[in-house]
Structure 1
Amino acid sequence: MSNVTADGERATSAGPVSRTLEFPGGSIQYFREGQGRPLLFLHAAGGAGVWHEFLERLSAGFDVVAPAHPGFGPSDELPEVEDIDDLVYHYIDVIDRLGLDRPHVVGGSFGGWVAAELAVAAPHKIGSLTLLGAVGLRIPEHPVTDLFFLKPHEIPPVLFSDLAKAAEMFPPGEPDIDTILAAYKDQTALARFGWVPFLNNPKLERRLKRITAPTLVAWAEKDALVPIEHGRRYAERIPGARFEVVDDCGHAMYFERPAEFADVVMGFLSGVSR
């Protein structure tokens, strides 16, 4: 059950209120919950429009803003946001319009790529950077697994180390039509931003030296989608970056081990705040 409030917010039976932000050609959906310094969370290719345990844990110490990227989940496909550069400037607009004063920026996988590009383009806009299993780099000897060519039954073991956890996100049996359409929408949006070249910007690595914010690069030990070498490369190229690995976990880290990854992120951010 849900109902729309007078100011366009959507109240849900669990979690925070879902809000919308208008842009030319449509709107995006976002959640906002918690108190303290602002934290902008940029989601992976999956999980758009979902308030999950990892975000709930972060909101215990921070003002968490979690938008759905244009074209993903409940957000509209904005015609002016055509590629990764446009997405970066979109989030600069989001930061300005929501009045987020140098937010901590936390990005997972595809969202980590966006977060890294944002920190390169506008280092003065962010207070810290956290990359969780981020794509975005081109390392030919350690390629990212191409999700577009995987069969449905091949996806869970690529994303999760614990297949019992995978079953919570990918329940057995045939998916219903709404699930199929939602997945198609997200994959279409992902292809729009990262098809060619595949989920990377060849220029990003040499630009990482522009990042001035304190940075945490956190990775899952058993990441079968984005090899851990990508995490090491990010940490090597970003000045002063800290690199941490969480054992016995797959790529969908904040779904598989939300408490552990929240502790890693909160520990880093508490140090930044001090």
Structure 2
Amino acid sequence: MTTATTVLDRVHVEVHPSGREVRGAHDAVLLHGIGGAASSCAPLAARLAAAGLTCWCPDAPGYARSQDPHAGIDPVDEIADVVRAVSPDRPVVLLGTSWGGVIAMALALRHPDLVAALVVVDSTRGSGTSSSKAAAMRSRVTDLADRGPAAVAAERAGALTAPDADPSVTAEVRRTMSAVRLPGFAVAAEFMATTDLDAALSSIAAPTLVLVGEHDTITGVDESRLLAERIPGAGFRIVPDAGHVAIQEHPGAVADHVLDFLGNLP
């Protein structure tokens, strides 16, 4: 007799249990960026859990402790299955950073029943907004294959943090990027290269908060502001002294913004 496998057999998920009971609180699912892993979300998840939100942080398919993606995988539907598995009875607060933010917005559009509230951090409409951006994203796959993740991380990690970032944060970003595997990165990059959410943003129905680091030079403040302007009713906040990885540089400030946002929902 064979045992049926589930998405949680393929996708590793870190759980940060709620530190206290908060009546009516939804669980939160935190999605990392294209060079990250579930561990990138851990400092923020710990703070949200202490405030009463059980947080689930998946390693995307092909990242860290998750299995490599199967042929034809749809990363949005795969994460939707993760959401259903960890919170089968209630929609979740879905928080995505960078590439994870694009996944989160696409999921909110495709599976609105799964999302009680949406938080998008240092993100973008996707790299399919222009042919040059799409080509640049695809070229990163070739670069990773040719030079290896350690060399790519050594070159890129410093650009993800603010100029005066804690060196230990930059070192952690570099360590995580150095462990990126080509199968997962290739799927993520192709998803980004083929995605342009511009025309769909006005159809996002979930209450939304958009956050961006003051010194984000990767996706940029203007892109995040555009997301907030196009998503109906979205809030917009800039995280001071943070770069593209605001959730790692200033998890306390990001958590405060998220908790304030959730506390003001009907």
How far off is 1:245 after superposition? 0.7
How far off is 1:193 after superposition? 2.5
Consecutive unaligned residues of structure 1, counting only runs of 5 or more, are 1-20
Q: Partner residue of 2:65?
A: 74
161, 180, 186: which is aligned to 1:191?
186
Which has the higher mean CA deviation after the structures are superposed, 245-254 or 108-117?
245-254
How far off is 1:163 after superposition? 5.0
Q: Which has the higher contact order (CA 8 A, sep 6+)?
A: 2
1:231 aligns with 2:224: yes
- 1:41 is paired with a residue whose SS is strand
Tell me how far apart the structure 1 counterparts of residues 37 and 105 of structure 2 sit (CA, whole Å).
19
Q: Which has the higher helix share?
A: 2
Q: Partner residue of 1:55?
A: 45
Amino acid in the other structure paired with 1:23: T
88, 95, 99: which is aligned to 2:83?
95
Please say if residues 123 and 219 of structure 2, whose CA atoms lie closer than 8 Å, have aligned partners that are also in contact.
yes
How far off is 1:228 after superposition? 1.6
Amino acid in the other structure paired with 2:166: K
Amino acid in the other structure paired with 1:193: A
How far off is 1:208 after superposition? 1.6
**C-alpha distance after superposition, 1:1-39 (max 9, x if no partner):** xxxxxxxxxxxxxxxxxxxx9537952111222154211
Q: Partner residue of 2:201?
A: 208
Aligned-residue identity in percent: 25
TM-score normalised by the chain length of structure 2:
0.78
Change (3 A) 1:249 1:119: same
Tell me how far apart the structure 2 counterparts of residues 94 and 62 of structure 1 sit (CA, whole Å).
17
TM-score normalised by the chain length of structure 1:
0.76
Amino acid in the other structure paired with 1:222: H
Tell me how far apart the structure 2 counterparts of residues 231 and 160 of structure 1 sit (CA, whole Å).
17
How far off is 1:111 after superposition? 0.6
Change (3 A) 1:251 1:24: closer
1:105 aligns with 2:89: no
Consecutive unaligned residues of structure 2, counting only runs of 5 or more, are 144-150
**C-alpha distance after superposition, 1:230-256 (max 9, x if no partner):** 112211211111111112210011111
- 1:69 is paired with a residue whose SS is coil
Please say if residues 126 and 192 of structure 2, whose CA atoms lie closer than 8 Å, have aligned partners that are also in contact.
no
How far off is 1:49 after superposition? 3.5
Matched length: 241
- 1:170 is paired with a residue whose SS is helix
Q: How does 1:1-80 map to 2 (within 5 A)?
A: 22-23=5-6, 27-32=10-15, 33-34=17-18, 35=21, 36-50=25-39, 52-60=42-50, 61-79=52-70
Q: How does 1:136-215 map to 2 (within 5 A)?
A: 136-138=125-127, 139-140=129-130, 148=140, 151-162=152-163, 164-170=165-171, 180=178, 182-183=179-180, 185=181, 187-195=182-190, 198=193, 201-202=195-196, 204-215=197-208
- 2:11 is paired with a residue whose SS is strand
Tell me how far apart the structure 2 counterparts of residues 162 and 39 of structure 1 sit (CA, whole Å).
30
Tell me how far apart the structure 1 counterparts of residues 35 and 154 of structure 2 sit (CA, whole Å).
16
- 2:264 is paired with a residue whose SS is helix
How far off is 1:75 after superposition? 0.3
Q: Which has the higher strand share?
A: 1
Please say if residues 49 and 74 of structure 1, whose CA atoms lie closer than 8 Å, have aligned partners that are also in contact.
no
Taking only aligned residues, the RMSD between alpha carbons, in angstroms, comes to: 3.1
